[in-house]
Amino acid sequence: MNSSPLIKVQNLEKTYRDDGEPTPALRGISFSVNNGEFVAIMGPSGCGKSTLLHILGFLDRQTEGAYEFEGRFMDSYTDEELAHVRNKKMGFVFQTFNLLPRLTVLENVKLPLLYSGIKESFWNEKAKQAIESVGLRHRMDHMSSKLSGGEKQRVAIARALVNDPQVIFADEPTGNLDSKSGQAVMSTIQKLNIEDKRTIILITHETYTAEHAQRVIRLLDGKVESDKPVDNRRKSNEFEK
């Protein structure tokens, strides 16, 4: 059994240049995440949360330091390999849902399969399984534009699941939702971690959202301020209601 971490970052730095002036976003971040962990990354606006997520999700590259995914250094991947891993082993859930309004729930969830290499004859079955896993079987043929905000986000979670990813990155998934809908979405995400053993990396500024995780990493000014387990992990039952 492979006991090495799924994700490992060491002295990670990211510096942007605006008119030639360096603007550091990440300043020597180090931590690791094991398979099946649920980690929340918190911090004030501008602390580097989204920059870190983009690097972890192979959407950007660091300036300095090292990032290993499944024991392989990110710098050793070609752009084509990065795209392949991103599609096959990573799922993404964003604050703004990013659904196509003129497609049904089923059609939206099938979209990542276009680039998966999976035979088209299996697409419907895989998409339906993902939709059922987030409790939206009854909405499968509805246009996504007709759904509530919470339902849209659960469709986005199903879409992130359809390729059976190793890790799900959720960037402020409750940011556009009221508290009740947000709680239902977090219950769905927590269920994926507890029952399906999915690795979850959650970016959030909301304490109640972070309490669903097993561990919270707090960032401040591009550095890790603290990295602690959640003492009283929030128990969600809204998903079953």
- Using CA of residue 118, residue 83, residue 47, residue 7, what is the dihedral sign? positive
What was the pLDDT predicted at 235? 66
Average per-residue pLDDT for the chain? 91
Determine the average pLDDT of the residues in 41-62: 93
Q: Reply yes or no on whether the pLDDT at 47 is more than 50.
A: yes
Query: Tell me, what's the pLDDT at 4?
Result: 86
**DSSP code at position 217:** E
Q: Where are the beta strands (DSSP E) in the chain?
A: 7-18, 21-33, 38-42, 64-69, 72-73, 90-94, 167-171, 199-203, 215-220, 223-229
* Cα–Cα distance for residue pair 239/162, rounded to 1 Å: 19
Q: What is the pLDDT of residues 64-102, one digit of tens each?
A: 999 999 999 999 999 999 988 998 899 999 988 899 999
Mean predicted confidence (pLDDT) in 35-46: 93
Given 1.10.1660.10, 3.40.50.300, 3.40.140.10, 1.20.1440.230, which CATH number is that of 7-229? 3.40.50.300
Dihedrals phi, psi of 177, to nearest 5 degrees = -120, 155
> Got the DSSP string for 3-51?
-S-SEEEEEEEEEEEETTEEEEEEEEEEEEE-TT-EEEEE--TTSSHHH
What integer pLDDT is reported at residue 238 of this predicted model? 44
Q: What is the mean predicted confidence (pLDDT) over 119-136?
A: 92
Residue boundaries of the structural domains of the chain: 7-229
Higher pLDDT, 218 or 234: 218
Least confident interval from 36-40, 41-45, 97-101, 233-237: 233-237
pLDDT digits (tens, 9 = 90+) for 149-188: 999 999 999 999 999 999 999 999 998 898 899 999 999 9
Q: How far is CA 2 from CA 61, 71, 99, 146, 164, in A?
A: 26, 10, 36, 44, 19
pTM for the model stands at 0.90
Q: Is 35 in contact with 7 (CB distance < 8 Å)?
A: no
What's the pLDDT score for residue 118? Answer: 85
Rounded to an integer, the average pLDDT of 108-127 is 90
For the segment 59-65, the average pLDDT, to the nearest whole number, is: 94
- Calculate the alpha carbon distances from 123 to 7, 117, 159 in Å: 29, 11, 12
For strand 199-203 and strand 38-42, is the pairing parallel, antiparallel, or unpaired? Answer: parallel
Query: What six digits make up the tokens of 153?
Result: 């986000």
DSSP 235: P
Contact 128, 134 (CB under 8 A): no
Contact 65, 9 (CB under 8 A): yes
Q: What is the pLDDT of residue 237?
A: 54
Residue 241: pLDDT over 60: no
